[in-house]
A and B are shown apart, each in its own frame.
Chain A
């Protein structure tokens, strides 16, 4: 026990911060050790990869079946869009776990940032999934409500009638642009952050890894100038990725959800959608680092600190989830506008009630009431289990919303022009075999791609680890040794 002059007590740190079997401070050792782990590929890995590959194959079959079924009746496509949205909220959001703490200079991110960025590779799948949707997206010509204000039904004396010059297919154009650029930015992000590590592969790697390392490292030799550029570029690309992510969710939530349900005017929803994504992204990362720690051999590098950090994030996010949900639900329920009541029935109290309750439990109750305990946050299994529940909940959420609204859109009693649903579909849309294929397949597919990518790209960010060694020191404080962390400005 030590007490500083201000009187605050301090426990001394008995061990260095990075907990490895035999603690090292040497940067070379770090890269060596990490490369070693990176280079070996266990059989278990290949078995699992094969499994996911198989799932992926199923997914492709489902995909073909869907496309074959044609684009006319929307309700068939509900599950398809749900899968698309789900991947958008998990794989596309995971990189935020690397970006956000990096901006905030949080050191605990270092061991997991690469894994987070790596998920962007799976973004290619989202792009593939998106292509058929271009044909499904209703055009503005039938006067549907839209972000692009192609307001045929709006009265002429309104100040924004100028917007009527918006082409009828602008949603399609914007959607494509947004999603393509998101994927591109993601790939750029992961490549950029890999440059120094590729250089390490080039210098210390062997075989094909070395070859690719040479190709991809773009002559990185680690001059000061290169490092400065590195920081700048990463900052810019991350910022853009973040903004694009928000935009894409804003976009999806409107063009793929609201336009299909008359009277669904919920200005908070894009935020909720994006927020769900962050939550699911964190959960994804929890699961990822859990696997990396348990099966990936990174036990020494992925400490409880990471789970703790993510746990705290998830705690806050799940509370936010409730708040967002309540903010809109409360208003709909309180005001009792028919249009909004029918909306509530469609999404919450109606046929999809069970799904909603399950989701409520999985996404809010379970995470919140377990994460509130520090012991759970600071464990390895706790966060992993909760991550599964959150991911499950998110999947349910996506299915509930998208299937329900696409079902509603396909009904004849609903016209795009109306502000109110007079009837609500009375029963749930049961998934076809192709839908199940899709769900299983594309989730598996993303994992598959992630795993393959992780063979070339180190899932542990070598240079950030090394950099960290610079920023931590141990200080003597009175009788205690304490850890001092530097925060570069």
Chain B
């Protein structure tokens, strides 16, 4: 990867666009060979969703609101999960991604405790598919065995593939290319998710970040990071929801 050194992948999530439709969730499941979450997995609170929609309630009937926020691995620049892994199963790659090396992982689950966003998932059981459904599995993504951690990878397999094919055909993978965007980003019907390279000033995410973080705190600057006070330097920027309901009580 010749040019990979100076890439820093990031995402911008516009909560004001998100409708909580779970499109991203299913897209992610289908792209990343996430085992089928059966009923018992939900009941054991061991369901795996690399990206999840969190729903928060505000107020009581009739002045009630449900807020949705998609939460995936924030690919922290200063990730709490990284230093604590005893076997380097999780490390920071040269493109600013927080990658999980499945075959090194022994499942101490230290990283999962370190993660303040709870986006790391553990394979408590051996993942199983009916024989015929295995035909759907994505050959670019490892099927994780039991006993190891897994988490959102920004669909690193897509980044790799498109970069590789880009090199093969001597074309630059340009910003916002669907081939390099994660499955959730391509799926999102309302374009709430935008993916790109923060190191490239002209990329859409960079400009959105610029615009959003420029005047933080003010009304027009909607950008913020999740639990920023922990100093994780997350590479996912959230754009605040705008609440213009009559008599809105929340907000700053």
Would B231 and A341 count as touching, CB distance under 8 A? Answer: yes
Residues of A within 8 A of B (CB): 334-339, 341, 419-420
Chain A residues lying within 8 Å of B83, measured Cβ to Cβ, are 334
Is B229 an interface residue, CB under 8 A from the partner? yes
Would you give the shortest CB distance from B226 to chain A, in whole angstroms? 15
What is the chain A residue whose CB lies nearest that of B80? A335
Return chain B residues, CB-CB under 8 Å to A339.
Answer: 229
- Tell me the bound Cα distance from A220 to B83 in angstroms: 67
10 closest Cβ contacts across the A-B interface?
A338-B231, A337-B231, A336-B78, A336-B231, A337-B230, A420-B229, A338-B229, A419-B229, A341-B231, A339-B229
The secondary-structure label for the interface of chain A is: helix
**Which residues of A lie under 8 Å from residue B78 when comparing CB positions?**
336
**Beyond A335-B80, A339-B229, A419-B229, 10 additional pairs, beta carbon < 8 A:** A334-B83, A336-B78, A336-B231, A337-B229, A337-B230, A337-B231, A338-B229, A338-B231, A341-B231, A420-B229
Residues of A within 8 A of B80 (CB): 335
Q: How distant is B116 from chain A, measured CB to nearest CB, in Å?
A: 11
Taken together as a complex, chains A and B put the C-alpha atoms of A278 and B138 apart, in Å, by 65
Query: Can you spell out 13 A-B residue pairs with CB atoms less than 8 angstroms apart?
Result: A334-B83, A335-B80, A336-B78, A336-B231, A337-B229, A337-B230, A337-B231, A338-B229, A338-B231, A339-B229, A341-B231, A419-B229, A420-B229
The CA-CA distance from A321 to B78 in the complex, in Å, is: 30
CB nearest neighbor in B for A335: B80
Interface 0/1 of B59-83, CB less than 8 Å to A: 0000000000000000000101001
CB proximity to A under 8 Å, residues B199-252: 229-231
A336 to B78, CA, bound (A): 8
In the assembled complex, the Cα of A365 lies from the Cα of B217 at a distance in Å of: 47
Taking CB as reference atom, which chain B residue is nearest A337? B231
**A139 and B230 alpha carbons, distance in the complex (Å):** 29
Most B C-beta atoms less than 10 A away, residue of A334, A336, A339: A336
Complex contacts, A338 vs chain B, CB 8 Å: 229, 231
B60 to chain A, nearest CB (A): 15
Across the interface, name the chain A residue whose C-beta is closest to B78: A336
Closest CB-CB distance, B24 to chain A, in whole Å? Answer: 30
**CA–CA, A291 and B229, complex, Å:** 53
Min CB distance A145 to B, Å, is 15
Contact with A along B73-110 (1 / 0, CB 8 A): 00000101001000000000000000000000000000
The interface residues of chain A lying within 8 Å CB-to-CB of B231 are: 336-338, 341
